[in-house]
Structure 1
Amino acid sequence: MITPILLCGGSGTRLWPLSRKSYPKQFADILGEESLFQASARRFTGAGFGDPVVITGEPFRFIVGEQLAELGVSPAAVVIEPEGRNTAPAAAAAALIAHRADPEAVILLVPSDHAVADPEAFRAAVARGLPAAEAGRIVTFGIAPTRPETGYGWLEIGAEETHPGVAALARFVEKPDAATAEGLLADGRHLWNAGVFLARADALIEGFRAHAPEILAAVEPALDAAERDLGFTRIDAALWAGVPEQSIDYAVMEKAANMSVVRFDGHWSDLGSWESVWQESGRDGSGNALSGPATALDCENTLLRSESADIEVVGIGLRDVVAVAMRDAVMVADMSRVQDVKEAVGRLKARGAAQAVQLPVDYRPWGWFETLVRGDRFQVKRIHVNPGATLSLQSHVHRSEHWIVVQGTARVTVNGEERLLGENQSVYVPLGAVHRMENPGKVPMVLIEVQTGSYLGEDDIVRYEDAYARK
């Protein structure tokens, strides 16, 4: 039985503005009706796989839970990193968790933001590598290359098989320049590095002990001091702050002598840029990929994407262009320059633009909200509360609120007085009043909130009770 380890962090910059720090690309609907995270979880369920362990950040713990629940998947653990420290510390924590649960555990370290066209074929590749992993090898997976890609690391296949269908790994190759990539593609001995690893947990721990003992020595006490919180495993923040930041490739894999590789000939993408999204999307006869209310007139090899039903994106005479429109941000780039999106996000951060990190929709454990109108001393929000969910019992120092229910039923408490509100009913929450809203029904509850006051920031909240243990 293989335990999938879904690595679910990331800063969300490469597919901005759709992907942002507050809601990175693995949770977004990019190619289909489910998120990349959900597709990854689904890919490694069923025969031969145990319940997954998810390693994620504090802001995403309830998103992870909600998206897994939609699939009917119950995780073995959801582990909260206090802050991202790259993939090596997360891998070390995962190996320790799995080994403590089962000394003979086999784990599959998987990024949760990749696209695989044929999940069954990838599961077959994992099954092919399992005997080697059980024998103590660390097995990685190489993608048969289709182009001289400079955005991926590569793997060189060794001359010998370690197990049937499993080759020794000769070496890792850093992201090459264009000329080097042409040579790697031509020689037939190199594969793209998918960043997926299959190993016994104890073999991976030994790899850390041999090649990155400082990481293991820092991760282990932080994990020992972890606390359970509403079903999550929260790693100790103070100890985690001392963990070195490194990738698993650099810390262990490039130095280990027991590396093997399985070749995967199916279609795969890490969706690392808008160009790769264009490549993975359905395109018309002129190479245009359209999503949402988008129109292309005399365009070629162009991605036009609108993430709002109210925004029409129209391209005229464009060649090799990406245009992505959201309610609060628009990104237009030459296809050859989409790797520079990260630099653009950095500039937005430097001048304090909220769009650099925050989506217009703010996801919370109980649902989500979005700001519809903001002005001097007032703002209007739409608030969506999931069935059975409840907001914290709270008060505000600087604002009053007026709630109008437009869908479903709300149970509202204001200064100890409780009442039910149906559609088109409203309630006033005075400044300083202790209040709470709940959705007692089985369908989503939506209300419009009008705030007025001298300060309208999200930090103007005094919480008295909270089902989600927020401060």
Structure 2
Amino acid sequence: MKIRPVILCGGAGTRLWPNQKKHQAKQFINFGNWTLLGKTLERIKGSIFDNPVISTNAKYLKQVKQHLKKHKIKKYKIVLEPAKKNTAPAILSTALIKDIPDNQPLMFFSSDHLIEKVNIFNNAIYKNKSNLTDQNIFIFGIKPKSPSSEYGYFLTKKVNGNINKVTKFIEKPKEVKAKQVIKKNGYWNSGMFFLRKDSIINNFKKYQLKTFKNCLDAVNKAKYKSNTYYLNKSSFLKATAKSFDYAILEKTKQINAIKLDIPWSDLGSWKEILKMYDKNKRKYIKKKNIYYRPWGKYTNLFEGNEFLIKELYVKPKGILSLQKHHHRAEHWLVTQGNAKITLNKDIIIKKPGEHIFIPLEAIHRIQNPSKKPVKIFEAQVGSILKESDIVRYQDVYGRVI
């Protein structure tokens, strides 16, 4: 029996767009002729996988179908949630559809993860297929490249040969704690799950019986049209809004880990997005998009929907103007040299790998006091991304107007 991929595609992606009423869901953002959902759909074309099931909502149905068509996936099922109830009801409802037999292995993917070395990833999934039972759950851990407070972690111990049993979860620790967790061989919790349908049913019956009954009712009363299950609203609304982690993982003892050492990110912050563009910048550089200034130069790498990615090169002793913007905020990631940054009344030194957020209307400046160049990746986020949205207060090159 092949593995049935289930793609959870209901997230709103609000973290990237603070204080904005209109925002794009992360899985649909065009990062340069590709999206995270598109990458996920390509990933599940491997020979180990059966036709996909996508869990989403009415707001995203059109975009999901456009992606399926673009990536030439003709056989699929869509399960539409009538309301946001977090990942526990989404996972359970999707698993309960009649197309899926009880002993079916199910691989739950997030629609907004960037995963490289897909062959290693898929081999790890397939290798653990025979270890699935009607009770256990496998989760995926990623070997941390650095201590991060943006991800949760877990610890494991080896049991029964090569099975890694999860012994403890650590929710998004501060950086100091994250370093301690990594020393204990902790892994990032990727939020992907591998288990059988009967394991989902048994765990929900045991730990979340009310949600199980309501989701089963929502599926049984669902309307089916054009490969899409429209879950019954009145039943689904009675399900408890909880994440799968809180509803099941924190209660069951039968959690095993598949530990991976591969490039992975959920691109959940502009810092992570900037790292991605830095890593792949050769694909985006065009000579016509390089602009020279008295302090150095900048390169426009990619302009998306209400965001612009740049690389700034600040020559030794170069100083940008003291300025602010009315229509955009900025995220900076230093990739080379030490940048002296003015942010309102503060002077901050940022080293390679460090990030700083420049809010809307904040007065700011970059200086390079050293004899070596400074490079900064910049994400401008807002409604106007042109040079015209610069209010200069001081400028050593006489550009104050």
Aligned to 2:191: 195
SS of the equivalent of 1:282 reads helix
Quick one: structure 1 residues 22 and 313, their matched pair in 2 at CA, closer, same or farther if it must change by over 3 Å? Answer: closer
- What pairs with 1:426-465 in structure 2 (closer than 5 Å)? none
| Mapped partners of 1:66, 1:359: distance in 2 | 26
TM superposition shift of 1:101: 2.9
Q: Which amino acid aligns with 2:168?
A: R
Q: Which amino acid aligns with 1:274?
A: W
| Mapped partners of 1:122, 1:79: distance in 2 | 26
CA RMSD of aligned residues (A): 3.7
SS of the equivalent of 2:168 reads strand
Aligned to 2:92: 92
Q: Which amino acid aligns with 1:127?
A: Y
Aligned to 2:60: 60
Aligned to 2:69: 69
TM superposition shift of 1:129: 2.1
Higher RCO (CA-CA < 8 Å; seq separation 6+):
2
Aligned to 2:173: 176
Q: Which amino acid aligns with 1:180?
A: K
Aligned to 2:48: 48
| Mapped partners of 2:21, 2:121: distance in 1 | 29
TM superposition shift of 1:338: 5.2
Q: Which amino acid aligns with 1:90?
A: A
| Mapped partners of 2:298, 2:279: distance in 1 | 8
TM superposition shift of 1:239: 2.2
TM superposition shift of 1:33: 3.0
Q: Which amino acid aligns with 2:10?
A: G
State whether residues 293 and 312 of structure 1, in contact with CA within 8 Å, keep that contact through their aligned partners in structure 2.
no
Quick one: structure 1 residues 331 and 208, their matched pair in 2 at CA, closer, same or farther if it must change by over 3 Å? Answer: same
Q: Does residue 104 of structure 2 align to residue 108 of structure 1?
A: no
Aligned to 1:185: 182
Write out per-residue CA displacement over residues 278-316 of structure 1, whole angstroms, 9 at most, x where no aligned residue: 11223599x9x9799575866899997532799897957
State whether residues 304 and 315 of structure 1, in contact with CA within 8 Å, keep that contact through their aligned partners in structure 2.
no
Q: Which amino acid aligns with 2:83?
A: E
Aligned to 1:330: 328
SS of the equivalent of 1:101 reads coil
Q: Which amino acid aligns with 2:137?
A: I
| Mapped partners of 1:145, 1:114: distance in 2 | 15
Write out per-residue CA displacement over residues 214-241 of structure 1, whole angstroms, 9 at most, x where no aligned residue: 2112211111111123432111122222
State whether residues 171 and 254 of structure 1, in contact with CA within 8 Å, keep that contact through their aligned partners in structure 2.
no
Of 66-75 and 83-92, more deviation after overlay is shown by: 66-75
Quick one: structure 1 residues 230 and 132, their matched pair in 2 at CA, closer, same or farther if it must change by over 3 Å? Answer: same
TM superposition shift of 1:153: 0.5
SS of the equivalent of 2:147 reads coil
Q: Which amino acid aligns with 2:111?
A: S
Quick one: structure 1 residues 22 and 311, their matched pair in 2 at CA, closer, same or farther if it must change by over 3 Å? Answer: closer
TM superposition shift of 1:207: 0.9
Write out per-residue CA displacement over residues 197-221 of structure 1, whole angstroms, 9 at most, x where no aligned residue: 1001101111111112121122111
Aligned to 2:203: 207
Structure 1: gaps of 5 or more residues: 320-324, 342-357, 361-471
- What pairs with 1:243-258 in structure 2 (closer than 5 Å)? 243-258=239-254
State whether residues 14 and 23 of structure 2, in contact with CA within 8 Å, keep that contact through their aligned partners in structure 1.
no
State whether residues 331 and 356 of structure 2, in contact with CA within 8 Å, keep that contact through their aligned partners in structure 1.
yes
| Mapped partners of 1:187, 1:175: distance in 2 | 16
Q: Which amino acid aligns with 1:8?
A: C
| Mapped partners of 1:40, 1:231: distance in 2 | 20
TM superposition shift of 1:117: 1.6
Of 222-231 and 250-259, more deviation after overlay is shown by: 222-231
Q: Which amino acid aligns with 1:258?
A: Q
State whether residues 273 and 338 of structure 1, in contact with CA within 8 Å, keep that contact through their aligned partners in structure 2.
no
State whether residues 132 and 162 of structure 1, in contact with CA within 8 Å, keep that contact through their aligned partners in structure 2.
no
Q: Which amino acid aligns with 1:181?
A: A
State whether residues 106 and 134 of structure 1, in contact with CA within 8 Å, keep that contact through their aligned partners in structure 2.
no
Q: Which amino acid aligns with 1:16?
A: W
Of 303-312 and 7-16, more deviation after overlay is shown by: 303-312
Write out per-residue CA displacement over residues 62-85 of structure 1, whole angstroms, 9 at most, x where no aligned residue: 211111111111343111111211
Q: Does residue 272 of structure 2 align to residue 273 of structure 1?
A: no
Aligned to 2:372: none
| Mapped partners of 2:225, 2:255: distance in 1 | 37
Aligned to 2:139: 140
| Mapped partners of 1:309, 1:238: distance in 2 | 37
| Mapped partners of 1:217, 1:315: distance in 2 | 56
Aligned to 1:12: 13
Write out per-residue CA displacement over residues 135-185 of structure 1, whole angstroms, 9 at most, x where no aligned residue: 742111100011111110001112x23453x31111211110121101012
TM superposition shift of 1:271: 0.6
Quick one: structure 1 residues 114 and 309, their matched pair in 2 at CA, closer, same or farther if it must change by over 3 Å? Answer: closer
SS of the equivalent of 1:176 reads coil
Aligned to 1:433: none
Aligned to 2:25: 24
Q: TM-score, normalised by structure 2?
A: 0.72
Quick one: structure 1 residues 309 and 196, their matched pair in 2 at CA, closer, same or farther if it must change by over 3 Å? Answer: closer
Match of 2:215 among 207, 213, 219: 219
Q: Which amino acid aligns with 2:110?
A: P
Match of 2:278 among 282, 286, 300: 282
| Mapped partners of 1:239, 1:261: distance in 2 | 33
Aligned to 1:457: none
Query: How many residues align structurally?
Result: 329
Aligned to 2:153: 154
| Mapped partners of 1:172, 1:301: distance in 2 | 43
Q: Which amino acid aligns with 1:72?
A: K
SS of the equivalent of 1:104 reads coil
Q: Percent identity?
A: 25
State whether residues 299 and 310 of structure 2, in contact with CA within 8 Å, keep that contact through their aligned partners in structure 1.
no
SS of the equivalent of 2:125 reads helix
| Mapped partners of 1:177, 1:312: distance in 2 | 28
| Mapped partners of 2:118, 2:309: distance in 1 | 34
| Mapped partners of 2:250, 2:237: distance in 1 | 25
